[in-house]
Structure 1
Amino acid sequence: MTSERLRFAIETGGLVLPDDGPLALIGAPADAPVDMLDTSRLTVIQTDAAAHDGWVARGLPTATAPEGRFAAAIVTLPRARDAAEARLALAARHANMVVIDGAKTDGVEAILKALRQRVTLDGQVSKAHGRCAWVRPGDALADWLRPTQAQNAHGDWVAPGIFSADAPDEASVALAAALSALKGDVADLGAGWGWLSRGILRHHGVKTLHLVETEKTALDCARLNVTDPRAVFHWADATAWTPPQPAGAHAPRKLDAVVMNPPFHTGRRADPALGRAFIEAAARVLAPHGQLWMVANRHLPYETALIALFRDVAEIGGDSRFKLLHAARVIRARR
């Protein structure tokens, strides 16, 4: 855990944070302990909606981007190398001291090797299958900064670290081709940078499409990629999202369809529970006549969750890598 490495570095490894000035905690999960830090000086920087909401609930100042100067920035490394470099460069732009905290499985060794070619590390410790290091980089990381959004080879707006940034995901392409006669109010849960949403909006019967995405950088790209006026954007945890209530309505809004290519990893670890949470969310927001269309990796056992929540479940396509699934007639719990 991040807290184990940071605590160990502070208590026994020689990390001495500045006595004065604000501190930034960048990218840390919402359950990370901060009792080893002076929380009166702390601002959390988090672009994931679920983690952002978690920090707000804990009563700490929380923002989506750093502003002004910090005495030190404590950076939790993301999995993607380009996102890790960009996050460290952003921290270096705003802070005199940068503390790097990462797991080996998230590439911390490679990042530290690259850092040593540019600057001298002030110190480092190994703990909990990872490393925590600290440095005063100055402007040595300036070339690691990347545009917040940039166009890929296909002309789509993407950002460092987001899923399938180089090209449309093949599973999403297959799912879009399998959709039939969508209409009414629809949601794309885990919309990413918006490629699948554009496919959904090719169906003229769609009245409104809700793009629900937890990662703000991806959703900001979707706003650029999806310009259809029927699109409504929601920065939210898709597993907890509820459709907005129509003005004057007395009952919760329910949707006619949900389309999704849900994530199936937590970090580098396959996590079927995440996909099941997406399926449960879809069942919760669908009307009795509503339909779910989804794609999943072939090996993930989502059929059990679908059968428990829908009366009609069928595989409608796919290949050796992924499967296309359709479900209808939500099973409502008896009162």
Structure 2
Amino acid sequence: MTPNRWTLALDSGDLAWPDGARSLVLRARGEADFSGLGAVQAVQGFYPDHARLTARGIDAVVAAEGQYGAALVQIVKSKPETLSLVAEAMARVTPGGVVAVDGQKTEGIESVLKAVRKLLPVDGVLSKSHGKLFWLTRPDTVPQEIADWAAVPALVEDRWITAPGMFSPGGPDAGSELLAALVPQLKGDVADLGAGWGFLAASVLEEQEGIDWLDLIEAEWSALEAARRNVTDPRARLIWDDATTHTHNRRYDAILSNPPFHTDRAADPGLGQAFIAAAARMLKPSGQFFMVANRHLPYEATLKAHFGTAKMLAEIGGYKLYQAGKPKTARRT
């Protein structure tokens, strides 16, 4: 395994981590090695990473608690969210402590470093493996410009609560709007895989009385918390889990999904393909799957592999809407 950049910086002596410090790691990756950082509290709201951290015996939470002697920020693809994480690290670390920020060039680490350098002196930078780690000393007073980076939930279109880092934080995306508008009348138990901040579920529940329950299955804790405020129908059930591995005590009558298709900044059709396979596994033999996707994504073969019937219901504005039935996994079990 390639050592993490902070491990290299610690081993070389370039980065001095406070002895005995309680360390905060924001957006902690499930596979990262934090052994050199002392007593770590890892903050991670993305369920798959959170589960991996917990399985390794690391103290993993969805929100930071108290003050820390040092912090490491693992950046994300959303620059506003990353800058918010830096602001949180500065607020949580006591004066004189270390704040380190790590990320790949493809994630935007250069831009983040530039933004921080405009406001505070940086103590050191390590470039390695197409990425950078930089660190600085938490000053007695944090510049107001950095404090202002802290993201707060926003009200969009006078109705929806969203925040930076969520999918489509500026409002409902066109794909979800298309699926909400064209999905037929549903009955029984329904699931929304990758429910995000809840637009699709809220819209369908408003229009359809035949649904008994609608499970919003979402891996990102902050998005699910926004959905808790956006979806007020009592038939909604919020589930924090990885949609691709979720298990349910009984099969669903219908499943809806506008699946994610990016890993960091790169398109990854494998994510949507995993959602298709999961839907086939979770549906009743008579169940129906409705999915919207960007037109260029290659999902037709995967739908045919997991369902006995699959057809395109519409192609509008760069999106395709699919309906699939006769799940092959359901027939085998």
TM-score, scaled to structure 2: 0.93
For residue 152 of structure 1, the aligned residue among 153, 156, 179 is: 156
**Structure 1 residue 295 corresponds to structure 2 residue 300:** no
What residue is the counterpart of 1:26 in the other structure? 26
Equivalences for residues 30-45 of structure 1 within 5 A: 30-38=30-38, 41-45=39-43
Q: Matched residue of 2:110: which SS?
A: helix
Give unmatched runs, 5+ long, in structure 1. Answer: 246-252
Indicate the residue corresponding to 2:15 in structure 1.
15
Which residue in 1 is equivalent to 2:316?
319
Is residue 227 of structure 2 the alignment partner of residue 226 of structure 1? no
AA aligned opposite 1:264: F
Q: Which moved more, 1:4-13 or 1:291-300?
A: 4-13
In the TM superposition, residue 97 of structure 1 has moved relative to its aligned partner by 1.7
Whether the aligned pair in 1 keeps the contact of 2:74 and 2:103 (CA below 8 Å) is: yes
CA distance, structure 2, for counterparts of residue 281 and residue 6 of structure 1: 37
Aligned counterpart, 1:242: 247
Choose 280-289 or 135-144, whichever is displaced more: 135-144
1:100 positional shift: 0.2
From 216, 228, 231, the equivalent of 2:221 is 216
Equivalent residue pairs, number = 324
* Alignment pair present for 1:263 and 2:260: yes
Flag the 1:102–1:13 CA change in 2: closer, same or farther, 3 A.
Answer: farther
What does residue 47 of structure 1 align with? 45
Deviations 1:103-154 (A, max 9, x none): 111111111111111100011111111110001243222111122x221244
CA shift in 2, pair 1:29/1:143, >3 Å: same
Q: Is the 8 A contact 2:123 2:137 kept in 1?
A: yes
Aligned residue number for residue 166 of structure 2: 162
1:109 aligns with 2:110: yes
Rounded to whole Å, the distance in 2 between the matches of 1:66 and 1:177 is 39
What is the deviation of 1:334? 4.1
- Distance apart, 1:303 and its partner CA: 1.2
Alpha-carbon distance, 1:236 to partner: 0.8
SS of residue in 1 equivalent to 2:321: strand
1:156–1:334 distance in 2 versus 1, CA, 3 Å: closer
Cα deviation digits, residues 42-70 of structure 1 (max 9, x gap): 11111111111111111111111111111
**1:283 and 2:288 aligned:** no
CA RMSD of aligned residues (A): 1.6
Q: Partner letter of residue 14 of structure 1? A: D
CA distance in 2 between partners of 1:3 and 1:48 (Å): 23
Cα deviation, residue 37, structure 1: 3.4
Q: Which residue in 1 is equivalent to 2:183?
A: 179
Question: Which among 306, 309, 318 is matched to residue 303 of structure 2?
Answer: 306
Q: Which amino acid aligns with 1:301?
A: P
| 1:194 to 2:198 alignment | yes
SS at match of 1:307: helix
Q: Distance in 2 between matches of 1:155 and 1:199?
A: 12
CA contact (8 A) 2:80 2:164 kept: yes
- Contact 1:174/1:318 (8 A) holds in 2: no
CA distance in 2, matches of 1:104, 1:13: 24
Cα deviation 1:221-241 (Å, max 9, x = unaligned): 001010000000011111111
Deviation at 1:32, TM superposition (A): 1.4
Structure 1 residue 28: Cα displacement: 2.2
**Distance in 2 (alpha carbons) for counterparts of 1:273 and 1:36:** 34
Please say if 1:129 is aligned against 2:130: yes
Structure 2: gaps of 5 or more residues: none
- Aligned partners of 2:318 and 2:233: how far apart in 1? 32
Q: Tell me if structure 2 keeps the 8 A contact 1:119–1:137.
A: no
Q: Residues 13 and 325 (structure 1 numbering): CA distance in 2 closer, same or farther, change over 3 Å?
A: farther
Which runs of 4 or more aligned residues in structure 1 lie more than 6 Å from their structure 2 counterparts after TM superposition? none
Partner amino acid, structure 2, of 1:195: F
Q: CA deviation at 1:12?
A: 2.9
Shift of 1:155: 2.7
* Structure-1 separation of matches of 2:175 and 2:147: 36
Contact 2:245 2:278 in 1 (8 A): yes
Amino acid at match of 2:73: V
Q: Aligned with 1:163: secondary structure?
A: coil
Match of 2:208 in 1: 203
In structure 2, give the amino acid aligned to 1:107: G
Distance in 1 (CA, whole Å) between partners of 2:164 and 2:180 is 24
Is the 2:84–2:149 Cα contact (8 Å) retained in structure 1?
A: yes
